[in-house]
């Protein structure tokens, strides 16, 4: 009976994901995604949330029947996760005046997938991850009043800059080294990654600068500042975060200035820095060698990536079934290689649909940037969207051997408190940017506002003098006739049908 349930459930999971993605496509085609207006796709948003609830119930039912662990160990996480996916979107909708319902649904589906796969790998980590999800939801609800009533975020650029540098320098001096990178701060039994917090400060700083200063001198200065952030991360040997920071800077620079010269110059300098880092840091050479040929040293340098590829291949298209994989053989599977575990147990089709959900989330971020005429918010939204987008590309490309492995987390899915909370805050900021102007706000409307269209005053044009033709003179004389005469002509004009009938009668006689 258990085997039959697992066999059927893996196809139901794919069907539920397909329904979710089809509704996402429908909402994207609508162009406007607001879950309070039926005309904007509210029914599709509700269907997506119902799909998430069904996914959660079916997944935990499958784990319960397929595991030797007592049901009491599953009960708390299963109940808490169900409360999260039901109540959190409702509370966010009550707090925010207008929200992007599609973005909320994508985020909580990814969170639910994370809970299910972590429950399969390590129930203790799943319980901690659920607490982090509740913390992130609480932060989204708390920051909205601050974002709504404080209007001068672009004037705090020096605060963002100084605090960001202080956090990175403190990490270099007092940080703990984990897997070769000094990017953790431990205080008692609590540990966090300051680089995750600096991501928000980094984007806010450059949004504040690029919304005002875009001349040549300022571009040079801000490029130096951007490379200073990256250099501090390189000193921590956190090269994955350094690459994310750099690409986010390039995206924001191009969006705000449109300068191809500075964009490609920055990429060229970064390429030179990457070559230098290859010769300076031994663990970079190890990762490059494992990427090029993991099979030559499969028991040592290439063990991680080879086990990841084995897991993806053994799952196949449809997956081995929830609880039937061997993902625990992959080192640090709960953080870096969680996508491989999902591919093994849920299948490649499920993983492709999951990537489509990330693409939909990126679309929502771009939509937020286009939905505002405030340059600060537009640049801010582009930086936040590019940050999550490139981070997702790095980790999925790394575990599938498309690019060298960088060791970053998969947003909303990988285990990690700091990463989960910061990614949730990023979505909250995008929801704030997507929201239109309220009463008393100085922010300009976006293209999707509900205002009455204003009529423009007609532009006076000098009349053109040309020789009137016969047709034009007739039409001019026709326009000069009184309306009464024209109506009289239409009344006295004989109808063709009575004339035809009279002719027929005369012919008959």
Task: Specify the DSSP element, H or E, that contains 192.
Answer: strand 190-192
Measured between alpha carbons, how far is 399 from 394 in angstroms, rounded to an integer? 9
pLDDT at 149: 81
Measured between alpha carbons, how far is 154 from 165 in angstroms, rounded to an integer? 18
Angle made by CA atoms 350, 353, 355, in degrees to the nearest 5: 115
Average pLDDT over residues 414-436: 86
Which residue would you say has higher pLDDT here, 148 or 507? 148
| Residues of the chain above pLDDT 70, percent | 81
Measured between alpha carbons, how far is 21 from 349 in angstroms, rounded to an integer? 12
Which residue would you say has higher pLDDT here, 481 or 379? 379
Measured between alpha carbons, how far is 234 from 273 in angstroms, rounded to an integer? 10
Measured between alpha carbons, how far is 221 from 471 in angstroms, rounded to an integer? 68
Query: Are 183 and 175 a contacting pair, CB within 8 Å?
Result: yes
Average pLDDT over residues 338-366: 93
pLDDT at 506: 53
Mean pLDDT of the chain: 81
Specify the range with the lowest mean pLDDT, choosing from 74-83, 262-271, 318-327: 262-271
pLDDT at 35: 47
Query: Are 327 and 345 a contacting pair, CB within 8 Å?
Result: yes
pLDDT at 186: 85
**Structure confidence by residue, pLDDT tens digits, 103-118:** 999 999 999 999 999 9
Specify the range with the lowest mean pLDDT, choosing from 17-26, 60-69, 153-162, 492-501: 492-501
Closest listed residue to residue 140, CA positions, set 84, 198, 204 = 84
Average pLDDT over residues 339-355: 93
Buried/exposed code over 363-400 (b: 16+ C-beta within 10 A; e: otherwise)? bbbebbbebbebbbbbbbbbbbbbbbbbbbbbbbebbb
pLDDT at 38: 52
Q: pTM to 2 decimals?
A: 0.82
For the purposes of burial, counting CB atoms within 10 Å of the CB of 70, is it exposed (0-12), middle (13-18) or buried (19 or more)?
Answer: exposed
Three-state DSSP class for residue 446: coil
Query: Is the predicted pLDDT of residue 50 greater than 70, yes or no?
Result: yes
Average pLDDT over residues 433-462: 43
For the purposes of burial, counting CB atoms within 10 Å of the CB of 141, is it exposed (0-12), middle (13-18) or buried (19 or more)?
Answer: middle
pLDDT at 281: 77
Query: Is the predicted pLDDT of residue 259 greater than 80, yes or no?
Result: no
For the purposes of burial, counting CB atoms within 10 Å of the CB of 412, is it exposed (0-12), middle (13-18) or buried (19 or more)?
Answer: buried
- DSSP code string of 426-438: HHHHHHHHHS---
Query: Is the predicted pLDDT of residue 159 greater than 90, yes or no?
Result: yes
**Structure confidence by residue, pLDDT tens digits, 222-235:** 888 988 999 898 88
pLDDT at 53: 95
pLDDT classification of 323: cutoffs 50, 70, 90: confident
**Structure confidence by residue, pLDDT tens digits, 450-500:** 333 434 344 334 444 444 445 444 444 555 555 556 555 555 555 455 545
Average pLDDT over residues 176-201: 84
Measured between alpha carbons, how far is 287 from 271 in angstroms, rounded to an integer? 17
Angle between helices 375-399 and 303-315 (to 10 degrees): 90
Average pLDDT over residues 89-108: 86
pLDDT at 441: 39
pLDDT at 484: 54
């Amino acid at each position: 009976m258990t085997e039959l349930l697992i066999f059927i459930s893996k196809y139901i999971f794919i069907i539920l994901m397909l329904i979710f993605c089809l509704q996402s496509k429908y909402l994207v085609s609508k162009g406007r995604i607001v879950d309070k207006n039926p005309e904007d796709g509210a029914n599709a948003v509700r269907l997506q949330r119902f799909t998430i609830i069904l996914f959660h119930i079916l997944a935990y039912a499958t784990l319960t029947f397929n595991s030797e662990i007592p049901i009491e160990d599953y009960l708390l996480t299963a109940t808490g996760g169900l409360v999260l996916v039901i109540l959190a979107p409702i509370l966010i909708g009550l707090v925010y005046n207008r929200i992007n319902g599609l973005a909320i649904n994508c985020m909580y589906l990814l969170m639910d997938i994370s809970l299910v796969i972590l429950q399969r790998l390590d129930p203790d980590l799943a319980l901690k991850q659920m607490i982090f999800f509740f913390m992130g939801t609480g932060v989204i609800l708390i920051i909205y009043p601050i974002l709504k009533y404080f209007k001068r975020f672009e004037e705090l650029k020096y605060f963002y800059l100084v605090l960001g540098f202080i956090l990175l320098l403190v990490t270099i001096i007092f940080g703990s080294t984990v897997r070769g990178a000094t990017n953790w701060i431990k205080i008692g039994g609590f540990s966090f990654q300051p680089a995750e917090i600096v991501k928000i400060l980094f984007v806010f700083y450059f949004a504040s600068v690029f919304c005002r200063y875009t001349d040549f001198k300022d571009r040079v200065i801000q490029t130096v500042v951007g490379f200073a952030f990256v250099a501090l991360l390189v000193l921590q040997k956190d090269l994955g975060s350094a690459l994310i920071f750099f690409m986010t800077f390039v995206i924001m620079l191009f969006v705000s200035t449109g300068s191809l010269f500075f964009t490609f110059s920055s990429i060229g300098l970064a390429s030179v820095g990457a070559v230098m880092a290859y010769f300076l840091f031994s663990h970079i050479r190890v990762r490059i060698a494992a990427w090029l040929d993991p099979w030559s040293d499969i028991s040592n340098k290439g063990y991680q990536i080879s086990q990841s590829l084995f897991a993806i291949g053994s799952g196949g298209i449809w997956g081995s079934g929830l609880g039937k994989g061997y993902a625990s053989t992959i080192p640090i599977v709960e953080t870096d290689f969680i996508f491989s575990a999902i591919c093994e147990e849920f299948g490649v089709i499920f993983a492709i649909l999951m990537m489509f959900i990330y693409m939909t989330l990126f679309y929502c971020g771009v939509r937020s940037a286009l939905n505002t005429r405030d340059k600060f918010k537009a640049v801010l939204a582009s930086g936040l969207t590019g940050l999550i987008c490139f981070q997702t590309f790095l980790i999925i490309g790394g575990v599938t051997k498309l690019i060298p492995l960088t060791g970053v987390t998969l947003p909303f899915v990988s285990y990690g408190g700091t990463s989960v909370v910061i990614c949730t805050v990023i979505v909250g900021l995008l929801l704030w940017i997507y929201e239109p102007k309220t009463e008393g706000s100085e922010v300009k409307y976006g293209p999707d506002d509900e205002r009455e269209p204003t009529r423009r005053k007609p532009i006076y044009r000098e009349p053109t003098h040309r020789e009137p033709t016969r047709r034009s003179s007739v039409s001019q004389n026709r326009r000069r006739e009184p309306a009464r005469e024209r109506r009289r002509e239409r009344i006295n004009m004989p109808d063709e049908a009575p004339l035809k009938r009279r002719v027929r009668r005369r012919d008959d006689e």
